[in-house]
């Protein structure tokens, strides 16, 4: 997966639409994103082509159109993007990221509770 090029913010939005379906077409993605983004059909077609070229999608010809399918899962993509982010912003150190998250005012009480459980589990495992 390391050979995959980074997805742009826009490409990630398109991929999120693809991940919702087993297989999809440009029209499916366009119909979902047009009301929110106002993107033209050809913009979505171009984005899917770029994402395909980056290796995140597979496609097959069906008549005059392509049918796209995710080649890389959402979980693997998120893991790769987070790893790249931590490397770029925190020089690969997770501690400062965890500290930033813990101090974030955006955390909901339930999320704080989940982080505390995670920390306890990691301590029990000796990590």
Domain CATH code at residue 46 = 1.10.10.10
pLDDT of the residue at 1? 44
42 and 80 belong to one structural domain:
no
Q: How many domains does the chain have?
A: 2
Which residue, of 42, 70, 98, is where some domain finishes? 70
**CA dist., res. 69 & res. 58, Å (int):** 5
Closest of 11, 37, 19 to residue 76, by C-alpha:
19
Question: What is the reported pTM?
Answer: 0.79
Question: Would you say residue 4 lies in a domain?
Answer: no
Q: Are 41 and 27 in contact (CB under 8 A)?
A: yes
pLDDT of the residue at 2? 52
65 and 19 belong to one structural domain:
yes
Domain that holds residue 95: 74-125
SS3 62: strand
Mean pLDDT taken over the chain? 91
Q: Average pLDDT, stretch 73-89?
A: 93
Question: Would you say residue 46 lies in a domain?
Answer: yes
């Amino acid at each position: 997966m390391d050979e995959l090029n980074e997805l742009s913010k826009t490409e990630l939005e398109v991929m999120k639409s693809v991940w919702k379906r087993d297989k999809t077409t440009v029209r499916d993605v366009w119909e979902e994103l047009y009301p929110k983004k106002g993107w033209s059909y050809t913009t979505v077609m171009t984005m899917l082509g770029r994402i395909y070229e980056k290796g995140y999608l597979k496609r097959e010809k069906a008549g005059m159109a392509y049918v796209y399918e995710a080649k890389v899962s959402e979980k693997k993509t998120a893991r790769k993007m987070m790893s790249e982010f931590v490397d770029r912003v925190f020089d690969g150190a997770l501690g400062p990221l965890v500290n930033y998250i813990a101090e974030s005012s955006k955390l909901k009480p339930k999320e704080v509770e989940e982080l505390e459980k995670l920390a306890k589990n990691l301590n029990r495992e000796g990590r």
